[in-house]
Structure 1
Amino acid sequence: MYNAVLVPTDGSARSVAAARRAIDLAATYDATLYVLSVIDASDLGLWTAADIPVERVEASLRDAAEAAIDEVTSLAAAADVRCETAIRIGVPHREILDYTDEVGADIVVMATHGRTGLEHAILGSTTERIVRLSEVPVLTVHE
């Protein structure tokens, strides 16, 4: 049923819960798990001051992305699940959708933050955008 399972991660407890579900799916169907971490391009602008080199900020964000991926790959290895990883810089929902197409994912497994009301209206939701725009099924996991 599934040959390629994609799980985006930001290292949060919610994304680790989603990763556990994705690993279970991949193990059940003997699928490859694709783990993606997206460095939000807007974060580079928010944290860059005239006296802090962009490269240092980007390196810090990349280190966080690598740590998030490492956590998921460790869980996948413990479950004997094949795993491929990637880090992208850009607009998160666009990068996730592009990567979904690139790897031929059959399903995307994502965490939901459970935002409601004004917070949801102002901040929006990457998961909601993926649910609306993805051409493949999206499984949302609430921690």
Structure 2
Amino acid sequence: MIDRVLVAMDDSDLAERALRYALDAHGDDAALTVIHVVGGPSPMMGAAVGLALSDDSDEEMRKAAAPVFERAREIAAEHDVTVETVVEVGRPARGILDHAEEFDAVVLGTHSGSLADRLLVGNVAKTVFDRSPVPVTVVR
């Protein structure tokens, strides 16, 4: 039985589609947690380093994640469901995988970001799918 679902979100349409899928499939029976990894993918981790070096990195992470979490709560409210939120900094796949074992399943979109990001950094969905300790649903 699936009691806890981790839904990875960024500001893409595919991430919203993944959340909608998770709500339709599990919203009545499971607790949903939305994770957003800030810092974004980049070969040199520029944005993540900038967050880490800020005076209040926790506050900066919360600010960066706020629009994603606000949208997630709006979508969840359409289904009369509330979602928990988790914010991480760094590489998206690593952030998701670091939390995956706490859940019964992971749901995420097929991809986001530019083609250059996907080619340089690798496909987040594929990495999570290949390495997750729990079942993964990839939504397109």
Asked if 2 retains the 8 angstrom alpha-carbon contact of 1:31 and 1:82, the reply is no
The sequence identity of aligned pairs, in percent, is: 31
Whether the 8 Å CA contact 1:10–1:68 is kept in 2: the answer is: yes
Match of 2:72 in 1: 72
Length-normalised TM-score, structure 1:
0.76
Aligned to 2:132: 134
Contact 2:97 2:128 in 1 (8 A): yes
Question: Measured at CA, do residues 40 and 27 of structure 1 come closer, stay the same or move farther in structure 2, by a change above 3 Å?
Answer: same
Q: Give 1:88 shift.
A: 1.2
Distance 1:63-1:140 versus aligned 2 partners, 3 A rule: same
Equivalenced residues, count: 133
Task: Select the residue among 121, 124, 129 that pairs with 1:123.
Answer: 121
Whether contact under 8 Å (2:9, 2:16) holds in the other structure is yes
Query: What stretches of structure 2 of length at least 5 have no aligned partner?
Result: none
Superposition RMSD on alpha carbons, in Å?
2.8
CA distance in 2, matches of 1:134, 1:87: 18
Scaled by the length of structure 2, what TM-score is found?
0.78
2:48 pairs with 44, 49, 55, which one? 44
Higher helix share goes to which structure? 1
Question: Which stretches in structure 1 are left out of the alignment for 5+ residues?
Answer: none
Higher Cα Rg, which structure: 1
Distance 1:123 1:76, change over 3 A: same
